[in-house]
Structure 1
């Protein structure tokens, strides 16, 4: 890893350091991720009514969510390759159009199989958005405040989730689950703005030019990250993201179903902890992002993960609505905020010529494991009669422990400067 770079002059506020083009690139990635979150998480809130309308078990409905997550890996790998070969901007635009249209079509589903098909396809576009958006934003942003802005970028998933919670709480009774899916076409409008205002990161453009002129093009970036000099870095990243996905979906995937099915909460009651916890996720991600810029990426991930282990029982071992709400909101600050460094830390761990592919693959292979969480928890909760609270708690705590271990084994990258140099061919493997 490169040595940490010197900080920018203290006389220049960090928010004035980026240029207008850098801000535009960041906003494009931010919009893509926030709206992606809305389209995906709205489904977590309507699984029970879908189960009732089509007459299928809730466990079967959770498999829609699982396949959607699994197809994210395919979309991320393809988009990462395109982003490394042709630029970050076009794959981002394609991905936003893809997931918006799929969500809209799913709202017209005449059968459960139709819904399953288009929500599954949504996963390809959803997975494709992250590597292109993360590379675009992080390569365009100065190193001094990259951790903080990474937290704001990844934490914007919480804004998307909060917006879906508000839509569910206030609109479900009037437009139903189909109307909530139709709203998902709105993100497609962001593509117009990206098309006219966003430019490719200069570091990628220069790197691509060097690959071409020096005839050292990296045509198979996915295979490159499994070469000896990158292997341990890749494997620790894979374990970290697999565990992190399991943490996320142990906390969030079936929490609304738990409140609806076992606690008998109304839509507005369900929306309350989900909305506020996701707002806290945004600010928590920014807080730990600031920590990462000062103390390192590893500290900003491991510390909240450790605290989250002790927070988890607070909202799962009580029937008191007030304690459930407050405990779940508190979890947003810790267990919900361990993801803020995903964009910065994953992009910093790999060289420019394979950055989008590597980050996209490592991040989204975690979706394979995360996709198993909802069916497994629902199996123990419903089929084995254990209820949702205990399986959610065990899965959350166990996964958090793995996150901490994998992070402590990983390299520190705080202050890394992105370069246009062709690093892959620098030294023999």
Structure 2
């Protein structure tokens, strides 16, 4: 990362670290639940299906939050939206620690998801519009590696809390520490500038580019992504989001429970296996970051998705020893990283800037809405088959959807987002013309 990182400006670096910190803290809060599922099941005597419902409801709420935050970022700006969403999910993560029963926890966890989804949408567009085009893939992929940092911190916190506290107290202590992301707001407010491409004027009819003429109609930030010019991209991007999120959440929501209940690993043993997956996820994000700008978005996603299908099938269906599973955990985490590490760059490059936040928020988070059913389905299927089999079927199906959808998308590597880089390119002109066509379409 050091080579390209030295070339970028101070504002680009500050934005990178602000987004990196936000996503790391997102992961810390979100991954807590997958680790404490057994303790919560024991606490309130709920079923696996009910535990899966918590994850599903959180994903639906995060999808709604992401779409709304994407629209707000087009209207109010990326930085301000990022501040509010970080505060929202931090507060509700903290409140989860004080839930007195399952219904209360379900509601609080759902509200946490609303803020979490919004933070990703605002941060992804902020990062994409701030970084120069030639480094966008590397920056977006590297920022996604923050998920592994937060995930690793959650596992360490899990091992510490459950080693020194009773299970009924330990899971609450973990959620109470979720208030920490609020500290990121201070950094975001002081250190990060609003990108020029997000300097949009809002009218009662929609969003207008800041440099648009007074008589030019505004692009409708809500419905513009369904205009004929980009409808195909919106639908395929949403399908890609379904496969990407469905595979990840089917696998990672239930993996700790699988390791503990079916592989009979201790808390520390489960942590060791997860550590291999997490380190591999971090390395996979950095490898993907380099490939995105070298071989393109489509080829990178396709390669990682195919490898995900193969690895998941071997990991969960083959009769492996615990030692073999420990080793195979590395490719499992490595390939699982490539798809989410690619989506930020790809989705931002599919839309003109007046509707970019809305488009990114929709494609990424529509996938979350539909994929919310995958963890619930795993829990339901595990009543009639082993948990490992249920996870494997769902995850392999989801990653197959990624393979199909990415084959229908264009290559977007190197596309300039509204003249953010020095100079101008034909692609920037094309984007401006596309925005004008949007305006003409809405005029009629």
TM-score over 0.5 (shorter chain): yes
Q: How far is the alpha carbon of 1:401 from its aligned partner?
A: 1.7
Give 1:3's aligned residue.
none
Alignment of 1:279-318 (within 5 A): 279-316=279-316, 317-318=318-319
Match of 1:196 among 184, 190, 193: 190
- Separation (CA, whole Å) in 1 of partners of 2:88 and 2:213: 30
- Separation (CA, whole Å) in 2 of partners of 1:291 and 1:187: 30
Q: How far is the alpha carbon of 1:211 from its aligned partner?
A: 4.2
Spell out structure 1 runs of 4+ moving beyond 4 A.
211-215
- Separation (CA, whole Å) in 2 of partners of 1:99 and 1:31: 14
Q: How far is the alpha carbon of 1:340 from its aligned partner?
A: 0.9
Match of 1:425 among 424, 428, 436: 436
- Separation (CA, whole Å) in 2 of partners of 1:281 and 1:216: 45
Give 1:67's aligned residue.
57
Q: Does 1:154 align with 2:144?
A: yes
Alpha-carbon deviations, 1:65-91, whole Å to 9, x = none? 110100112211211111001110011
CA spacing shift, 1:14–1:52, aligned 2, 3 Å? same
- Separation (CA, whole Å) in 2 of partners of 1:262 and 1:215: 62
CA spacing shift, 1:128–1:211, aligned 2, 3 Å? farther
Contact 1:315–1:325 at 8 Å: present in 2 too? no
- Separation (CA, whole Å) in 2 of partners of 1:354 and 1:278: 34
Give me the TM-score of the superposition, normalised by structure 1.
Answer: 0.93
Q: Out of 38-47 and 168-177, give the one that drifted further.
A: 168-177
Which ranges of structure 1 fall in alignment gaps of 5 or more residues?
A: 1-11
State how many pairs are aligned.
415
Alignment of 1:11-410 (within 5 A): 13-175=3-165, 176-205=170-199, 208-211=209-212, 213=214, 215-218=216-219, 220-316=220-316, 317-318=318-319, 320-381=321-382, 383-384=383-384, 386-410=385-409
- Separation (CA, whole Å) in 2 of partners of 1:86 and 1:374: 34
SS of the aligned residue for 2:251 comes to helix
- Separation (CA, whole Å) in 2 of partners of 1:26 and 1:302: 26
- Separation (CA, whole Å) in 2 of partners of 1:261 and 1:214: 64
Contact 2:55–2:376 at 8 Å: present in 1 too? no
Contact 1:70–1:371 at 8 Å: present in 2 too? yes
Alpha-carbon deviations, 1:262-303, whole Å to 9, x = none? 222111111112222122112212212211101110011001
Alpha-carbon deviations, 1:83-129, whole Å to 9, x = none? 00111001111111111110111101111111111111001101110
Alpha-carbon deviations, 1:362-403, whole Å to 9, x = none? 10111112211111111111x21x111112112222222211
Give RMSD over aligned pairs: 1.8
SS of the aligned residue for 1:349 comes to coil
- Separation (CA, whole Å) in 2 of partners of 1:295 and 1:78: 33
Contact 1:163–1:275 at 8 Å: present in 2 too? no
Q: Out of 196-205 and 131-140, give the one that drifted further.
A: 196-205
- Separation (CA, whole Å) in 1 of partners of 2:403 and 2:91: 38
Q: How far is the alpha carbon of 1:16 from its aligned partner?
A: 2.9
- Separation (CA, whole Å) in 2 of partners of 1:396 and 1:286: 23
Q: How far is the alpha carbon of 1:213 from its aligned partner?
A: 4.5
- Separation (CA, whole Å) in 1 of partners of 2:184 and 2:290: 28
Which ranges of structure 2 fall in alignment gaps of 5 or more residues?
A: 201-207, 420-431
Contact 1:155–1:337 at 8 Å: present in 2 too? no
Q: How far is the alpha carbon of 1:413 from its aligned partner?
A: 0.3
- Separation (CA, whole Å) in 1 of partners of 2:210 and 2:222: 20
CA spacing shift, 1:216–1:116, aligned 2, 3 Å? same
- Separation (CA, whole Å) in 2 of partners of 1:356 and 1:209: 15
Q: How far is the alpha carbon of 1:423 from its aligned partner?
A: 3.8
Contact 1:155–1:339 at 8 Å: present in 2 too? no
Q: How far is the alpha carbon of 1:214 from its aligned partner?
A: 5.2
- Separation (CA, whole Å) in 2 of partners of 1:423 and 1:90: 27
